[in-house]
Amino acid sequence: MTPLSRRGFLLGATAAGGLVALGGTSWLMRRPGLPGGGDYTIPYDPTVFLSIDPDGTVTLQSKHLEMGQGIMTGLATLVAEEMDADWSRFEVELAPADTAAFLNTHLGRQGTFASSGIANSWVQMRRVGAGARAMLVAAAAERWGVVEGEVSVAGGVLRHEPSGRRASFGELAHAAMAQPTPDPETLELKSPAEWERIGHTALRVDAPEKISGEAAFALDVRRPGMLRAVVARPPRFGGVVAGFDAEAALDVPGVREVIEIPSGVAILADDTWSAMRGREALPVDWDDAGAESRSTDSILTEYREIAQRPGVLALDRGDVESALGGAAQTLDYEYTFPYLAHTPMEPLSCVMERTDEGVEVWAGCQLQTLEQWAVAQVMDLDLEQVRINTVFAGASFGRRANPRTDWIPELAHIVRVSRLNRPVQLVWTREDDVRGGCYRPVSLHAGRVGVDASGAIAGWEHRAVSASLVLGTPWSYADARAGVDRATAGGIMETTYAVPDLRVDVHAPTSPVPVGFWRSVGDGHTIFMIETLLDELAERSGRDAVEFRLTHLREDARAQAVLERAAEAIGWWGGPPGGRAYGVASSFDDVSGRRTYVSMIAEVGLDVGRLDIHRIVAAVDCGVVINPNIVAAQIEGSVAFAVSTVLRNEITLRDGFVVQSNFHDFEPTRLAEMPQVEVHFVSSDTPPSGIGEAGVAPVAPAVANAVAALTGRRFRALPLPLHELGATLGASPGPVIRPTGLHP
């Protein structure tokens, strides 16, 4: 075991400092490159993650950000299961930035991404729990002078039955700390038959403080003497400040300071509203010479031209030309998808203050390794001088996992330049958020797919045109450096449908518009393309849509089982109720070899002159389910997240300016539009694969396929052109949606 500092197990678990070198090189040296990504050691030492109070309360450091996905509860379940801890005295804290201690075991960097929270912790956190249990047992055996095999553990209490002796975790915490850390490889983990927590529903550990209103998000952090900052940013991406009149803003009561930073002009004030008013009063001249000045339509026109030329080859298997040449039917297609914003309910915010050691940050920080490094670069500090306290995030959907970084180092620039030396809270308004970029990129997918006389897919050539999410960023990975970003070409590259002859190539045009990970990432567009095409191919082949898919899933029993389960659950073969239609789609999402299977069938009606998505029946195989209730909640949430992209959501550029600005023109799904959601589990004993994103991608194609069944019309873009279908939106806003004053 690498000698990580023992921070916990006892009272007063200490801060992140003092980590020593891994592999002979110091993490803590200032270095030009982003740490991690090379060799790394997975920490299993229980004392890194756990502290035990004398009263027996066990506190786990959650190495992952809680942004609604339930990871604190999930990690606690894994540890408590193996530790045989008392659940009523098990608490969870969000761990600070500390890459060596809290790295994501899939990457060697600290971060919560790619639905990997449970998957990367599955072995590690159970070993942490089992290791802690072993250390407590060893301490008890030593104190009582008995053999370890005679010590039993249940509910946070150790017992020696023959002598009747017993002790709580709290009583033995000190003695356990002195025990050697067990070799993680030798720890025996419970068999599934022994599980008392895994697979059972526990209420979320973060719920009570979120229901009371006490939960602290970054916007709720208060520090003594704290100022609020908003930033006037260029109205076009890539613009820069040409000049500004600070006095105009300084004349606004409460405004303290106006300073130029790389991303714009920051206004610091005593409260948020004064900062916002200061920004309104501040005249800024922008230099748009290097800015994006195109409209979405012209970008897509350029993409269409680019798509005429071969891109970088991502995948080429079989003989696509021969297969397509021999196909009974071929289908040429072109799909387009708009930019999409994440709009988490909590707009971006963070707090930073200078300390004797360096700076301290509070943020709903999703990629701690990246953000810590970015702040260190801006402030010219060592990594260890940047303490990042992770606080609850008011959701993210990928927004806080920006591979380019933005809001946290932006605040570092403010703190670096400010002469006031006071804590500063940076606030992005909703307009800043909607117009702030980091979007899912606009994309164009074009190609040709064939079916042979037997109804089997015969040849598929596909070309994707989309800005890379990671190319040129510190977070880039090997594929992207070779010109293929799996984040945009994913979905088709790893499809589990039988496509023996498949070629995929990609273009990654660049633009000043920053793009990023958006829940379900590339699958959000490629799965729409695949699943609507499969539906159309089935229809052209005279085959049932589910049966057509099943014949292409013969090599993947798990995929077959999930699709069959969804079809059975809704009664696919019996047909929909009168006036309605079913539409089917699946995401057999593969992230680095972790495949999550989600099939959905949408029941849709246009019968009352509007599009009603009545219900979504989902079947899920995400490996071992830690908490069925949380998995179901992720599917429900995925449906809500996707429905508004079907109905209306898009970010559009007009001459480089973002048209939308707030929830009136980028309106998320509302309660009245929420379909009923049923979730059916297909039991699985494979390791958990992740469920945060896989439910998003199937929703839109399932609905589109159902609408196609009702109207005979196929769709090649999102959002669906409801106005052309004579459908109005399902939700009637009613009086409650209007701004309400004192007299609603």
Partner 1 sequence: MGGAYTGGSTEAPPGRFTLDSRETQLPSFGYPLCNTSTPCRPGLSALSGTALKLTVNGQDHEFDVAREMPLLWVLRDHLDLTGTKYGCGIGLCGACTVHIDGVAARSCSVLAGDAEGREITTIEGAAGLVSDLVREAWTEADVVQCGYCQPGQIMTAIALLSKNPKPDSDEVERAMNGVLCRCGTYLRVAAAVRRASEGL
Judged by CB under 8 A, the stretch of 66-74, 307-315, 440-448, 583-591 that binds partner 1 is 66-74
577: contact with partner 1 by CB under 8 A: no
Pair of tokens at residue 425:
């809270």
Residues comprising the chain, all counted: 744
- Binding mask 606-635 vs partner 1 (x if CB under 8 A, - otherwise)? -----------------------x---x--
Judged by CB under 8 A, the stretch of 296-304, 308-316, 426-434, 585-593 that binds partner 1 is 426-434
> How distant is the alpha carbon of residue 290 from its chain centre?
31
Least distance to partner 1, CB of residue 336, Å = 25
Q: How far is CA 291 from CA 239, 260, 303, 411, 455, in A?
A: 5, 18, 19, 23, 49
CA distance 634 to 639: 9
148: contact with partner 1 by CB under 8 A: no
Which of 470, 510, 513, 514 minimizes the C-alpha distance to 489? 470
Beta carbon nearer to partner 1, 95 or 704: 95
Least distance to partner 1, CB of residue 626, Å = 14
216: contact with partner 1 by CB under 8 A: yes
697: contact with partner 1 by CB under 8 A: no
CA distance 268 to 276: 9
CA distance 607 to 584: 19
Least distance to partner 1, CB of residue 439, Å = 15
440: contact with partner 1 by CB under 8 A: no
Least distance to partner 1, CB of residue 221, Å = 7
Residue 625 CB burial class (10 angstroms; 0-12, 13-18, ≥19): buried
393: contact with partner 1 by CB under 8 A: yes
Whether the CB-CB separation of 358 and 352 falls below 8 Å is answered with no
Whether the CB-CB separation of 17 and 28 falls below 8 Å is answered with no
Among 412, 639, 646, 651, binds partner 1 (CB under 8 A): 639
Region of 162 please: left (phi>0), alpha (psi -120 to 50) or beta. alpha
Using DSSP, state whether 297 is helix, strand or coil.
Answer: helix
Least distance to partner 1, CB of residue 500, Å = 38
274: contact with partner 1 by CB under 8 A: yes
- Interaction with partner 1 in 186-205: which residues (CB under 8 A)? 203-204
Beta carbon nearer to partner 1, 34 or 67: 67
Beta carbon nearer to partner 1, 180 or 735: 735
Least distance to partner 1, CB of residue 632, Å = 9
Beta carbon nearer to partner 1, 483 or 628: 628
Q: Is the peptide bond before 32 cis (omega within 30 degrees of 0)?
A: no
Sign of the alpha-carbon torsion through 45, 47, 52, 58: negative
466: contact with partner 1 by CB under 8 A: no
Helix axes 407-417, 368-379, angle to 10 degrees: 20
- Binding mask 228-267 vs partner 1 (x if CB under 8 A, - otherwise)? x------------------------xx-x-----------
640: contact with partner 1 by CB under 8 A: yes
Using DSSP, state whether 459 is helix, strand or coil.
Answer: strand
734: contact with partner 1 by CB under 8 A: yes
Residue 284's DSSP bridge partners are 244
Least distance to partner 1, CB of residue 429, Å = 6
209: contact with partner 1 by CB under 8 A: yes
